[in-house]
Structure 1
Amino acid sequence: MSDTVGDFLLQRLSAWGVQRVFGYPGDGINGIMGAFGRYGEGLRFVQARHEELAAFMACAHAKFTGEVGVCLATSGPGAIHLLNGLYDAKLDHQPVVAIVGQQSRGALGGDYQQEVDLLSLFKDVAHEFVHMVTVPEQVRHVVDRAMRIARDRRTVTCIIFPNDVQDLPYQAPPREHGTVHSGVGYTGIRIVPREEDLVRAAAPLNAGQKVAMLVGAGALDATDEIIEVAERLGAGVAKALLGKAAVPDDLPFVTGAIGLLGTKPSWDLMNDCDTLLMVGSGFPYSEFLPKEGQARGVQIDIEPRMLNLRYPMEVALLGDAKETLQGLLPHLVAKPDRAWRATIEHGVERWWRVLEGRALNTAHPINPQRVFWELSPRLPERCILTCDSGSAANWYARDLKMRRGMMASLSGGLATMGPAVPYAIAAKYAHPDRPIIALVGDGAMQMNGINGLVTIAKVWREWKDPRLVVMVLNNGDLNQVTWEQRAMEGDPKFVDAQAVPDFPYAEYARRLGLGGMRVDDPGEVGAAWDAALHAERPTLLEMVTDPDVPPLPPHISAKQAKAYLSALLHDDPDSLGIVVASFKESWDSLFPPGSIPG
């Protein structure tokens, strides 16, 4: 029996180095699924509980390996379900190939069941390359181009396979007019600026007396270079959320996260600097960057579309972060005056004491900050952290001290709910020997996380190291949106929209054969983390936390304060708890532990 188009597709993906495909079966991809059954070792189909989770897994695979992630879905509804996860990959500049089924070629245009115009549907999310295979001779170059473009442009591409094409005998393209003959192989790309541009970039950095650095996901592989540049310039280093693992948080000049979820040292760094060096970040919020005209700017990014977009830069360098910083370093002059650096380090040291005070404040029953504060010193070496959108991202951004060798990610550009657990599963497939920790709110857990637990229960015994912890903040509230309504709109909590149904997360995990612990005593938080991180099977930690603890931004504007007060005065059901918790948070900002003589 000759190879079918489905067989050749898998062979070609394997030739590109693909080891697993995340997806969900359906009759629109029966020919491809049959090929998986025949394929044998080397390329595995990983069944997700939903196509959206499959796309999240493909995105996470790309994030945690640097390789192309691949997801597979059937025609119609299956293809539609992929979209949210694919947009997550697109907005975070991750290489993902989506393979989707379609109705038979003869039915197209006939209003057939599950017939969707997939070329139009995917034209935005996969605009760099989306094509439908209509003849076997086309498969080779379509797969090659989808893989190469996804990898080299760090974007999403899509291949559409009508189900009748999948079972046709594969045929190589003949050597004749009208055919395309492509190949598999590495693309040799080295993007570094010209020497004269490096010299131009060094000038404002050397002239600056108060240099601030902002690093993002594009700087994840440039840790040593970032540190060396910061040391030479006496700079402080702030991090966009996707760049949390770019530099360790135990360095005294690292100010931590920036933005609404950020720190006061990062706020002060940006407001007081006279020079800004932005590396591999598309951080979008201008109110948290220096005022226009305040600072001279230099930017490094490998994506030309992101240059000179967020702040008016004097010099914008197109290039790989690591190699560009290496090229820039010989032109940088060490600054003898360390007064600016001393100010930064004092602010960072004080901020960590503020966070400690806030984390140890009493709440009803558990302060959510304490959950993350207790985890931070317990983070295992080389662990991988995933986090969901929501209030969990606030505490993830601020309270966890990343160390060298750790990896971490969340949905940055799209900021969608639901990726933390599928991210964690994909991370475990990619790095089965590393401990994985997923940090999830109860809203996101009820969206996707619960289904993800089913997959974990199915496959965890295959892993070399069973350590995978899913921590759920059970506060019965869509907490981030509740606080946004208060601070941005001046509206009280709308219970009908914001209340999350009660669910026995830990008990459910135990029924699946996983570990499960419910914690409602703040004194037991640390011990629960210890037990989960040393458990013999994946474990869910259900932390019952107080929704009234406010995720205060590093700076509260008059507009936000007015809206916040308005919400409290308009009969917010949690007004008393909010006032008490807000007072405690503000007190710790003014008087962190150790600042008041005993």
Structure 2
Amino acid sequence: MKETVSDFLVRRLSEWGVKRIFGLPGDGINGIMGAINRVSDKLEFVQIRHEEMAAFMACAHAKFTGEVGICLATSGPGAIHLLNGLYDAKLDHQPVVAIVGQQKRTALGGSYQQEVDLVSLFKDVAHEYVHIVTTPGQVRHVLDRAMRIAKAEHNVCCVIVPNDIQDMEFVKPPHEHGTIYSGAGYRSPRVVPEIEDLQRAADVLNDGSKVAILVGAGALNATSEILQVADLLGAGIAKALLGKTVVPDDLPYVTGAIGMLGTKPSYSMMTECDTLLMIGSSFPYSEFLPEEGQARGVQIDIDGRMMSMRYPMEVNLVGNSEDTLKLLIPLLKRKEDRTWRNRIESSVDEWWKKIEARAMEPANPINPQRVFYELSPRLPDNCILAGDSGSSTFWYARDIRIRKGMMASLSGGLATMGSAVPYAIAAKFAHPDRVVIAVTGDGAMQMNGMNELITIVKYWRHWSDPRLVVLVLNNRDLNLVTWEQRATEGNPKFDAAQDLPDVPYADYAKLIGLHGIRVDRPENIASAWDCALTADRPVVLEACTDPNVPPLPPHITFKQARAYASAIVQGDSDSREIFRETVKQIFA
């Protein structure tokens, strides 16, 4: 049997180490689907409900494995559906390759059904590399380059294959002028700064008496080195959202999240430090960093384009975080004065007491913080957490205490709704023996999470450990936007835009063959988590939470307070409740 272009494409993916493709079939990729079917013992095809979810899963696969994530979609509408998930990968610097079909070459330019200018469509999201295969001999180097560039640049690439090309016989490019020969395989180089720059950075850090460290996703493989640096410098460590698992939260000098979702210890540390060390982070909100001129800065990042973008750094070290820190550590001097570190540890200890007090405040019917507070000590060792975008992200960032060995991620740069459930599914495929927990709101669940529960139903019996828990905060409100309207715009809640239907999520889970738990009393939260984390199948845990518990920022500005008061004065439909809950949270 002749080897088609599709057969070669699938074989080449296997040679690159790809074991799994997330996608949805369609007539624009029939040839590729047939080729996957012929090697289904070597390459797994994961059928999803919507192509956007395939791209989310490819991004999450890259995050949780370090491998290139692959998503597959048909021409036209299928290709268009990929975009949101691909932008999630682009903005979080994840290696993803999208393979999409296209109409026959003879029809292109003729306004044919489902004909879309795919090169133009993907030119931004896959700006590093997007190409269409026009002859059989071209497919090898197009795919090789897409895979290699995705791995080298930590970005999205796209390969477009017209459906007539897919069924043609694959031929090697002839050995003649105008042809290209490529090979598979790529290994990231060791990138480190010059020794002179390392010494300059060490001098800055050694001179500081109040050093603050901020870590992000680019520091995920440098945990032990970061802890050594923090110990030598007597520094505290704050974490950007994507860096939540860089260092565990049970260390007394880890101040937790930073920014609007952040903690008071992180805010205080940044406003009082005299030296800032930023490692592997593109944290966007400069107002939560030291004021310009307050602190001397050192930044470590693999991408020189990201240097000195958030704070004017004195020394910029382009390099891999782990290797750069290993070279930097011998140049650092241990600070004997631990006054700064002691202040940080005292602040962190006080913060966790405050978190408990806030979580235990009664609400109607359940305080959302308590749902996360009760989960935190029950998290199984080495579990994986998948977050979403919304008010649930506040409680995920603040109340969950990460321990060594855990993994966690969400949509960081794009901050798109709907990432939690597809991320959790991808995590479960990558690590079927680990417990996975998705935390999401009812808005994101209604957007796409409920459909992907069907994907869980289709595959969960293949996982060695069936435990996957989807937490849904059912507050019947697009809650984060509601609070943003109040606190940033000074507008009352727009009920017609913000109110959501009350959907029985737990009952829906039971209807399709999963386990469902609904909890609407605070005294039942702990037992609900115990039940969910020991179930014999995936679980939807529906928590009926109070939308009027405010996600308070670590520092309330006068502008925010004035806007908030304006929203209440204008007659917010929940004015009495939000005022009462805000007062309770502040005094807690």
Q: How would you bin the TM-score normalised by the shorter chain?
A: over 0.9
Which residue number in structure 2 is paired with residue 320 of structure 1?
Answer: 320
Partner deviation per Cα, 1:318-348 (whole Å, 9 max, x = no partner): 0000111111000000000000000000000
**How far, CA to CA, are the matches of 1:52 and 1:430 in structure 2?**
19
Give the Cα separation in 2 of the matches to 1:187 and 1:358. 48
- The answer to whether 1:296 aligns with 2:315 is no
CA contact (8 A) 2:151 2:186 kept: no
CA distance in structure 2 between the aligned counterparts of 1:530 and 1:174, rounded to whole angstroms: 63
Which residue pairs with 2:95 in the alignment?
A: 95
Instruction: Classify the secondary structure of the residue corresponding to 2:300.
Output: strand
SS at match of 1:230: helix
Aligned residue number for residue 450 of structure 1: 450
Give the Cα–Cα distance (whole angstroms) in 2 for the partners of residues 95 and 429 of structure 1.
Answer: 18
Shift >6 Å, 4+ stretches: none
Deviations 1:351-371 (A, max 9, x none): 000000000000000000000
Match of 2:176 in 1: 176
1:41 Cα offset (Å): 1.2
C-alpha displacement of 1:576: 0.8
* Matching residue of 1:439: 439
The yes-or-no answer on 1:14 pairing with 2:14 is yes
2:554 matched to which residue of 1?
A: 554
Task: After TM superposition, give the deviation of residue 187 of structure 1 in Å.
Answer: 3.1
Number of the residue aligned with 1:386? 386
Could you tell me which amino acid in structure 2 is paired with residue 586 of structure 1?
Answer: I
The answer on 1:27 being equivalent to 2:27 is: yes
Q: Which amino acid aligns with 2:570?
A: H
Deviation at 1:195, TM superposition (A): 1.2
> Residue deviations 1:80-109, cap 9 Å, x none?
000000000000000000000001000000
Root-mean-square deviation over aligned CA pairs: 0.6
Distance, in Å, in 1 between the alignment partners of 2:101 and 2:569 is 54
Task: Return the offset for 1:37.
Answer: 1.6
What secondary structure sits across from 2:432 in the alignment?
A: coil
Contact 2:492 2:573 in 1 (8 A): yes
CA distance in 1, matches of 2:566, 2:185: 60
Q: Are 2:261 and 2:398, in contact at CA under 8 Å, matched by a contact in 1?
A: yes
Counterpart of 2:77, as a letter, is P
The structural deviation recorded for 1:40 is: 3.3
- Is residue 67 of structure 2 the alignment partner of residue 67 of structure 1? yes
In the aligned structure 1, how far is the partner of 2:262 from the partner of 2:318?
Answer: 27
Q: 2:240 & 2:278 partners in 1: Cα distance?
A: 10
Cα distance in 1 for partners of 2:500, 2:19 equals: 38
Q: Deviations over 1:227-274 (max 9, x none)?
A: 110010000000000000000000000000000000000000000000
**Consecutive unaligned residues in structure 2, runs of 5 or more:** none
Unaligned runs of 5+ in 1: 589-598
Counterpart Cα distance in 1 of 2:497 and 2:344 = 42
Are the counterparts in 1 of residues 152 and 188 from structure 2 also a CA contact under 8 Å? no
The aligned runs of 1:47-86 (5 Å cut-off) are 47-86=47-86
Q: Match of 2:335?
A: 335
Give me the whole-angstrom Cα distance separating, in 2, the residues matched to 1:52 and 1:350. 42
Aligned partners of 2:205 and 2:211 also within 8 Å: yes
Identity of aligned residues (%): 69
Tell me the distance in 2 between the aligned counterparts of 1:145 and 1:206: 44
Q: 1:90-132 deviations in whole A, cap 9, x for unaligned?
A: 0000000000000100000001110000000000000000000
**Aligned residue in 1 for 2:570:** 570
Aligned to 1:467: 467
Separation in 2, partners of 1:357, 1:503: 30
SS in 2 for 1:99: strand
TM-score (norm 1): 0.98
Tell me what 2:501 maps to: 501
What is residue 219 of structure 2 aligned with on the other side?
A: 219
2: CA distance between counterparts of 1:53 and 1:40?
21
Q: Secondary structure at the match of 1:143?
A: helix
Partner of 2:110: 110
**Structure 2 match to 1:153:** 153
- Paired residues for 1:243-254 under 5 Å: 243-254=243-254
C-alpha distance in 2, partners of 1:81/1:188? 31
* Matching residue's letter, 1:42: K
Cα distance, 1:186 vs. partner?
2.5
State the 1:402 CA deviation.
0.2
Q: Distance in 1 between matches of 2:447 and 2:52?
A: 11
CA–CA distance in 2 between the matches of 1:414 and 1:123?
18
Distance 2:188 2:58 in 1: 24
Measure, in 1, the Cα distance between the counterparts of 2:153 and 2:24. Answer: 26
Please give the per-residue CA displacement for 1:105-162, whole angstroms capped at 9, x wherever unaligned: 0000001110000000000000000000000000100110000000111000000001
Secondary structure of the corresponding residue to residue 518 of structure 1: strand
SS at match of 2:439: strand
Q: Which whole-Å CA distance do the structure 2 matches of 1:372 and 1:362 have between them?
A: 14
Aligned partner of residue 53 in structure 1, secondary structure: helix
CA deviation vs aligned residue, 1:411-451 (integer Å, no higher than 9, x gap): 00000000100000000000000000000100000011001
1:188 Cα offset (Å) = 4.7
| Distance of 1:475 and 1:40 partners within structure 2 | 43
